Amino acid sequence: MNGWLDVGALLKVLVFGIMAGAGLPALFALGVRTQAVGAGAVGGQHLAGDRKPVLTAVAYLCFALVATAVVAGVLFVARDFIGHHTGWYILGAEEK
C-alpha cells in the first residue's frame, strides 16, 4: 500500500465486481439454458417426450441462487434504513 492506492482493497473490489457483474448474469443464462434442455427443447425443436426433471431442478436452483444474491444485495444496501425503522440491525448495521 502506498499513499495513493490501496492495492489489496482494489483487488477485492475488482474480484467482487467481476463475480457480481458477470457471474450472476452468467448463472441466470445457465439456468435458462438448463431449463430449456430439461423441458425437452433442443436446437429450437420442442421434443415433448424428452423431458429431464433433474435439469429442470438444476435450473430452479440457479434461479434461486440469483434471487438470493439480489435480495441479499438489496438488504445490504438498505440495512441502515431497515435498522432505523424496525430495530432489526442486520448485515453489520450499527445502531446510531
Residue keyed to cell 445457465: 30
pLDDT in tens, 35-90: 988 887 766 666 666 788 899 999 999 999 999 999 998 998 898 888 888 888 88
Contacts of 37 (CB under 8 A, 6+ apart): 52, 55
pTM of the model: 0.75
Domain ranges of the chain: 7-86
Query: Which residues partner with 45 through β-bridges?
Result: 42
Element of type H or E holding 41: strand 41-42
Output the CA torsion sign for 8, 76, 58, 26.
negative
- Residue 59: the pLDDT is 96
Distances from the Cα of 58 to the Cαs of 35, 37, 46, 47, 80, in angstroms?
8, 11, 19, 19, 35
- Residue 49: the pLDDT is 66
Query: Which residues partner with 41 through β-bridges?
Result: 46
